[in-house]
Each structure stands twice: as structure tokens, then as C-alpha cells.
């Protein structure tokens, strides 16, 4: 029996300033494009929520927020909606939280195609369902043509950190093993190619994915997991510098162990970029005690997001806050914090 298609309330195929004016046009846009997909609980201006996880003695509430202005808004492997969900889920998960609820606010440019909004919203809902979270509240604003670039998205996420779980950035100890869950730099290289500014042709796709299931698997196998960080803007190098500074340890990477695609290396060589600073949207680095490293790797490799998990280095006594790379030639080079931005509007 064919599925009936609900008729659209909207007239025309593009957003107008009337869709942000607070009247019927705005209500039709919100209901037709957003709430009919997200199905938020209730009709109030706030979501009223409860989770049994919050009732556990010692449980902590985790709360994060992020904005997304990626250009282009659709790219190989994802779009601004998917990256908004993944980015917020991952910010919670790497702190040890189990993500539960998200909010989503949209700044929409006058003239934006409604079909594009529908694709973005459908992508958000699909990723939320995959990650096991709900988009429970949100907002829309429409600005004049040229005052935004199609659509910007701001999300906030709420999760629960179970009792006794502590994954603060300052817990890394000398000897701990650094592990990444997969290849590095795919997102940054894919975005560069998608912009079409440099006549680059590749089959690269963004690594955009939610990592909460991966983190839970790693924690179950390595209960003393120290800390984790998603390697987004500034790439792996910046994430490691932040962790090294917070924990007061040195970190040494093994260049031979770094998982990099040949295409990413090629893009970086052409453009004079360092792949360690390229953004990732589905890659994290975590630290575990050496006696739990193999168990963590095995557990991570059983998950879709962790099949390429590999150990890439270790924490040292010092110098505190310094990250170095042991090169293929046996030397060492400093891997400093990124200064400036290799590529703007990457997420």
C-alpha cells in the first residue's frame, strides 16, 4: 500500500523574510520543515525532560553548545545538519557524558531553498536517531539576503556523566598510550576539495560521525581511560597540545603510526599544509594506561567508528605541555599549537 505524502503548508520554494516575521508564514515553516521531523515533546517554549540517569547518586549533568557555519553547507560525507549533531554529541561524549538531548537554532538567509532546509533537517534527525539522542527544542530566525550564507546552525547538548566516571583533561599520566579511532584529516581535505577554489579532484569524504558508542565501548574495555578529545578545528595537533598543557605532561607521536590516506598527504603537499592540523569531525584521541591499551583498541575496532583504531604515541614526564613527533628518519620535531586558521569555516 503506497505511503501517503502529507501536503506542504508552504507556498513557493524559497525562504522569505515573512517566514521570520512571527505570523502564519513562520508557523508554517516551523511546522512543515522542522517540528514535523523532530517531533519535540509538547508545544511549550521549553522542553520539559527527565531521565532516570539523573536520579543516580553522584551523576553529573553535562551541557555544551556550538555553532556551525561550514561552507559549503553540503559536502561529501555530510552537511551542516549532520555535522551539528555529530559535533555536539562528540563534545559531550569525549568528556565522559552520555548524550541525551539537543537543541537546534537556525539562522536562515532570505532566498534559501526550502528543499535544502528539508535535506538538512532530515540529515539531523537521521544522525540523532543513530546516536540515540533527541532534538527537543529549537528556534528559527530569517535574515536579509547577504547577511548569512544560506543557513547557520547553533546547537546545545545535554548529557549525563555516570557516577564515578572522570575523564577530565588533566588526568593523563606519563606512560599512557595515545590512541586515535581512524584516519586523520579527511574532513579538512574533503571541504577544501568541495569548495572548488583550487581545482582539486578527490574521492575523499568527511569523517563526520557520532562517537558516543565508540567512547562507551572503550570505557567498558579500559575502565581507567584517562581523557579524550575530538580533533576538530586545529586537528590532532591542537587537541594534543590542549591535553598536554592540562595534564602537565609531554606527548610524543610516532610519525610511522599516524593513519593518513595517500590522498590527504597529496592535498597537503600541494597546498603546503600539515595534516596534523587538518580538521576532523569523526576522529578523537584518547589516553589509556599501557596495560589497558590493547583492550581499548580491540573494543574500539568492534564499532563502526573505531575500525581503524591505532596507537600513535605516548605521554612522557616532560617537558610539560610539549608535543613532539618522532619522524620517519629518527629525528624529532616540535608539534606546536596551531596559530591562526589553516582553513576558515570548516565546521
Reported as a single tens digit per residue, the pLDDT across 200-256 is: 778 899 999 999 999 999 999 999 999 999 999 999 999 999 999 999 999 999 999
Domain boundary (161, 189, 209) is at 161
201 lies in a domain? Answer: yes
Query: Taking the model in full, what pTM does it have?
Result: 0.94
Q: For residues 27 and 32, what is the distance between their CA atoms, to the nearest angstrom?
A: 8
Domain shared by 323 and 180, yes or no: yes
pLDDT bin (cut points 50, 70, 90) of residue 6 is: low
Q: Residue 287 pairs with which residues in a beta bridge? A: 178, 227
**Contact yes or no for 188/236 (Cβ under 8 A):** no
Domain shared by 125 and 194, yes or no: no
**Contact yes or no for 179/285 (Cβ under 8 A):** yes
3-state secondary structure of 298: helix
C-alpha closest to that of 181 among 90, 263, 92, 271:
90
- Cell of residue 210, nine digits: 557520532
Instruction: Output the pLDDT for position 156.
Output: 98
Domain shared by 195 and 326, yes or no: yes
Q: For residues 279 and 111, what is the distance between their CA atoms, to the nearest angstrom?
A: 30
37 is in which domain, residue-wise? 17-161
Domain shared by 311 and 203, yes or no: yes
Amino acid at each position: 500500500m503506497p505511503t501517503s505524502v502529507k501536503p506542504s503548508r508552504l507556498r513557493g520554494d524559497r525562504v522569505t523574510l515573512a517566514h521570520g516575521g512571527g505570523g502564519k508564514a513562520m508557523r508554517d515553516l516551523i511546522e512543515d520543515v522542522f517540528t514535523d521531523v523532530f517531533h519535540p515533546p509538547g508545544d511549550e517554549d521549553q522542553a520539559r525532560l527527565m531521565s532516570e540517569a539523573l536520579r543516580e547518586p553522584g551523576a553529573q549533568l553535562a551541557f555544551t553548545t556550538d555553532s556551525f557555519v561550514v561552507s559549503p553547507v553540503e559536502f561529501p560525507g555530510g552537511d551542516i545538519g549532520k555535522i551539528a549533531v555529530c559535533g555536539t554529541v562528540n563534545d559531550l561524549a569525549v568528556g565522559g557524558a552520555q548524550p541525551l538531548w539537543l537543541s537546534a537554532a537556525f539562522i536562515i538567509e532570505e532566498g534559501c531553498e526550502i528543499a535544502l532546509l528539508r535535506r538538512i533537517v532530515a540529515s539531523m534527525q537521521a544522525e540523532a536517531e543513530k546516536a540515540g539522542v533527541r532534538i527537543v527544542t529549537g528556534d528559527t530566525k530569517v535574515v536579509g539576503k547577504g547577511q548569512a550564507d544560506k543557513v547557520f546552525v547553533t546547537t546545545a547538548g545535554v548529557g549525563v556523566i555516570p557516577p564515578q566516571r572522570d575523564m577530565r583533561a588533566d588526568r593523563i599520566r606519563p606512560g599512557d598510550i595515545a590512541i586515535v579511532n581512524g584516519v586523520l584529516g579527511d574532513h579538512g581535505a574533503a571541504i577544501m576539495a568541495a569548495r572548488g577554489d583550487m581545482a582539486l579532484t578527490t574521492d575523499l569524504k568527511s569523517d563526520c560521525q557520532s562517537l558516543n558508542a565508540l567512547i562507551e565501548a572503550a570505557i567498558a574495555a579500559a575502565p581507567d581511560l584517562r581523557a579524550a578529545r575530538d580533533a576538530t578545528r586545529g586537528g590532532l595537533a591542537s587537541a594534543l597540545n590542549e591535553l598536554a598543557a592540562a595534564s602537565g605532561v609531554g606527548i610524543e607521536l610516532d610519525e610511522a603510526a599516524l593513519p593518513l590516506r595517500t590522498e590527504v598527504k597529496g592535498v597537503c603537499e600541494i597546498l603546503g599544509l600539515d595534516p596534523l592540523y587538518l580538521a576532523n569531525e569523526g576522529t578523537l584521541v584518547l589516553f589509556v594506561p599501557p596495560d589497558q591499551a590493547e583492550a581499548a583498541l580491540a573494543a574500539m575496532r568492534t564499532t563502526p567508528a573505531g575500525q581503524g583504531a591505532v596507537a600513535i604515541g605516548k605521554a612522557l614526564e616532560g617537558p610539560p605541555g610539549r608535543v613532539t613527533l618522532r619522524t620517519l628518519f629518527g629525528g624529532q620535531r616540535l608539534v606546536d599549537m596551531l596559530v591562526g586558521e589553516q582553513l576558515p569555516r570548516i565546521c
